[in-house]
Amino acid sequence: MHALNAPQREAVKYLDGPLLVLAGAGSGKTRVITHKIAYLIRDCGYAPGTIAAITFTNKAAQEMQERVGRLLENRSVRGLAITTFHALGLQILRQEAARIGYKPRFSVLDAADSLHLLAEILKTTDKSLLKRIQHRISRWKNDLVAPGAAATQADSEQAVAAARAYVAYQDTLRAYQAMDFDDLIRLPVELLERDPEARGKWQDRLRYLLVDEYQDTNLGQYRLMKLLAGARAAFTAVGDDDQAIYAWRGANVENLRLLQDDFPRLKVIKLEQNYRSTLRILRAANHLIAHNTKLFEKKLWSELGLGEPIHVFAARDDEAEAENVVMRIEAHRLQHRTHYGDYAILYRGNHQARPFEEALRARRIPYQVSGGQSFFERTEIKDITAYLRLIHNSDDDPAFIRAITTPRRGVGVQTLEKLGAYAASRHLSLFAAVFEVGFEAQLTARQYEPLAAFCHFINGLEYRAAREPAGVILQDMLRGIGYETWLFDQAEPRIAETRWANVQDFVGWLARKGEEEGKTLAELVQTVALMSMLDNREEDANAVRLTTLHAAKGLEFRHVFLVGVEEGILPHRECIENGQVEEERRLMYVGITRARESLTLSHCLKRRRAREFQVCEPSRFIAELPQDDLRISGRETDPMRDKQEGSARLAQLKAMLKGSS
């Protein structure tokens, strides 16, 4: 308790009813949650299994788990649920599957799989059309609109078509015994609303709820929270309306107000001291966000001293920007003897990462990308995951197709088409259809054998998955399918090597996880599919962190480089056109407030677009910062000279350090 200030302590100890902690960035909201979990368990006698804390990403959940573990020292926290809304929804659905007509071993499709499925249903390969429909369906689901009801809400021909696709899509998912990501919220809500017994059971089980980053919950998540909290309304939600950056995914800051309407007894506690950033960084953040219309009045102050001015520099083009940032990091690190892990490069969109990755690689600086293409999205990892999904649920048709064709094992396209037609006519999954006499009769022995062998192979793995150590089975599986050889047949050696190394990383990680957590492969695969959708594998602590602003939420770094601060990027062009500049300003606010000791903003004078250069303007947000706190460089100077000076300075520093050590 001594590690908390007075209002934080009050928030931790308050158990008389629903509580909202509404406060700006870095004021210790997440800290309130971790301490409150510890307080509930240690001082109030709550069994860990009766508490659920909800975070925004798996990564944040992991971090929180570690912090709570440290606060409670050796006490066991078995059963304590620190998860995301989606993982909690999944947990509920696995246990209640029967109540909604699913097998407990249903599959969870990620965005790419669901796009595939839509393509099949709509018989089109038009990617942008498919993405639009997928997005539309996702919004309906987030707003808890059932497939049948979507058509009545459709206000254009396009929307009517999407509503029709939604119905077909949902039917197909059900036939595959599969769900998509959004179903993990929508279906539990539907279930708990409809089924008082299930509702009572979960309300009994979860005696206290804690929700971090509450401002970014969407309607479905809010409803789930309300259903779980029940009449007792024992919950603590913490959030900051100025950091609401997920409107595009259906999140609604109005949920903050809704909370006050729905729970008249709601107590609100505000935190005003920021423990993260220097005064200048904080001043910049406050100045910027003052340009937005206010939902709630908040103040923030800090005792961490004035700090360095905020550096703003212009670069010749995007490559020079990357070069310059990387050089600054290297120079700063040498000068201040810091670690690479103290630095973060934040950007608006994933495509901005490439030049930075290249510049970092060129200097052999370790880095880690998050919030972009996750490790799990890589083709080779998805190949292996397809096998795991199939072992887990043999009725998962998309996984079946991927596994049986990767590597190809002598099963022809025509055979697969026959199988598809037969399975459809008999309302069976592909896997189940293989074992039907009626199907076997349609094929020659040469056609049938490889199919049957494949299914027996999967069955064998499934049997072992519940019994043997994960590592052994996985290696056997890789050998059995000849994956390594296949990789090297497919791609040039350099690429194949990387892919094979990734596969070994993945398999090794699963094996370790199995050992550490005492889980069988069968148990492990249940979580893998979900993790893949959310974030990366474990971090390299001593690496420069590259991340999108969205994925940086809740995190903090000693030194932050916020790059591409230009009109059209931040604020994003589409958002300017659609009148969403306020959301972009919040995104910038999130970026600024990640910094603890120093903040550097950069923008380009020109940027490569296709094969041409485009002239760029600095973002309007730079003009909205307190100008006295900025140190601006590079706008008038010659960028080539900058670069040479940078290199010379770096060489000088290195020589100096060599001399001193």
Ligand X SMILES: Nc1ncnc2c1ncn2[C@@H]1O[C@H](COP(=O)(O)OP(=O)(O)OP(=O)(O)O)[C@@H](O)[C@H]1O
- 282 close to 594: Cβ distance less than 8 angstroms: no
Contact of residue 177 among Mg ion, ligand X, none (CB under 5-8 Å per partner type): none
Among 211, 209, 213, 210, which residue's Cα sits nearest to residue 25? Answer: 213
Closest CB to ligand X among residues 174, 558: 558
User: Would you call 31 a catalytic residue per the annotation?
Assistant: no
The per-residue DSSP string of 616-638 comes to: --B-HHHHTS-GGGEEEESSSS-
What the block records as the tokens of 562 is 């916020």
Note if 30 is an active site residue. yes
- Separation CA 110–CA 533 (nearest Å): 6
Q: Does 30 bind Mg ion (CB under 5 A)?
A: yes
Cα 320 from Cα 305, distance rounded (Å): 33
Residue with tokens 């909202």: 20
Q: Using the rule CB under 6 A, which residue among 59, 86, 223, 276 binds ligand X?
A: 276
* DSSP 8-state secondary structure symbol assigned to residue 293: P
Quick note: the x/- pattern for ligand X over 576-615, rule CB under 6 A, is: -----------------x----------------------
Q: Which of 183, 212, 330, 535 is catalytic?
A: 212
Pick 23 or 404: Cβ nearer ligand X = 23
Nearest 5°: phi and psi at 366?
-65, 135
* Annotated active-site residue in 226, 348, 594, 596: 594
Catalytic residue among 243, 406, 415, 600: 243
From the CB of 307, what's the least distance to ligand X, in Å? 15
Ligand-binding annotation for 24, yes or no, is yes
With CB under 5 A as the contact rule, which of the stretches 28-36, 308-316, 386-394, 620-628 interacts with Mg ion?
28-36
Query: Which pair of structure tokens corresponds to residue 443?
Result: 């094929």
Does the annotation list 26 as a binding residue? yes
Question: At 185, phi and psi to the nearest 5?
Answer: -100, -45
> Six-digit token pair at 230?
């029940």
464 annotated to a ligand binding site: no
**Is 579 known to sit in a ligand binding site?**
no
29 is catalytic: yes
Tell me: is residue 399 an annotated ligand-binding position.
Answer: no
What's the CA gap between 566 and 607, in Å, rounded?
A: 10
Residue 239 interacts with Mg ion (CB under 5 A)?
A: no
Chain centre distance of CA 18: 28
514 binds, among Mg ion, ligand X, none (CB under 5 to 8 A by kind): none
User: Known binder of ligand: residue 27?
Assistant: yes
34 near Mg ion, judged by CB under 5 A: no
Binding mask 535-564 for Mg ion (x = CB under 5 A): -------------------x----------
Contacts with Mg ion: how many residues (CB under 5 A)?
3
The structure tokens listed for 484 are 């390594």
The verdict on whether 464 is a catalytic residue reads: no
Q: Which of residues 13-52 bind ligand X (CB under 6 A)?
A: 23, 25-31
Tell me if 276 is assigned to a ligand binding site: yes
Do the Cβ atoms of 325 and 359 come closer than 8 Å?
Answer: yes
CA distances (Å), origin 563, targets 299, 377, 460: 27, 25, 51
Q: For residues 92 and 123, give the distance between their C-alpha atoms in angstroms, rounded to a whole number.
A: 34
593 touches Mg ion by CB under 5 A: no
27 vs 619 by CB, closer to Mg ion: 27
**Closer residue to ligand X (CB): 25 or 329:** 25
Q: Is 8 in the site for ligand X (CB under 6 A)?
A: yes
Stretch of residues binding ligand X (CB under 6 A), selected from 1-9, 110-118, 296-304, 534-542: 1-9
Cα separation of 587 and 570, whole Å?
A: 8
| DSSP code, position 570 | T
How far is residue 529's CA from residue 144's CA, in Å, rounded to a whole number? 23
Site for ligand X in 546-565 (CB under 6 A): 554, 556
Quote the Cα angle for 56-240-210, to 5°: 50
Annotated catalytic residue, options 8, 30, 170, 352: 30
What span, in angstroms and rounded, lies between the C-alpha atoms of 601 and 589?
A: 12
Residues 6+ apart with CB under 8 A from 63: none
Q: Which is nearer to ligand X, 11 or 178 (CB)?
A: 11
**Residue 262 touches which of Mg ion, ligand X, none (Cβ within 5-8 Å per kind):** none
Helix, strand or coil, per DSSP, at residue 79: coil
Q: Where are the beta strands (DSSP E) in 183-276?
A: 208-211, 235-239, 267-271, 273-274
467 is catalytic: no
Binding residues for ATP, by number, are: 23-30, 276
Residues that bind Mg ion (CB under 5 A): 29-30, 554
Residues that bind ligand X (CB under 6 A): 3-5, 8, 23, 25-31, 240, 243, 275-276, 554, 556, 593
* Catalytic site positions: 29-30, 212-213, 243, 594
Binding residues, by number, are: 23-30, 276
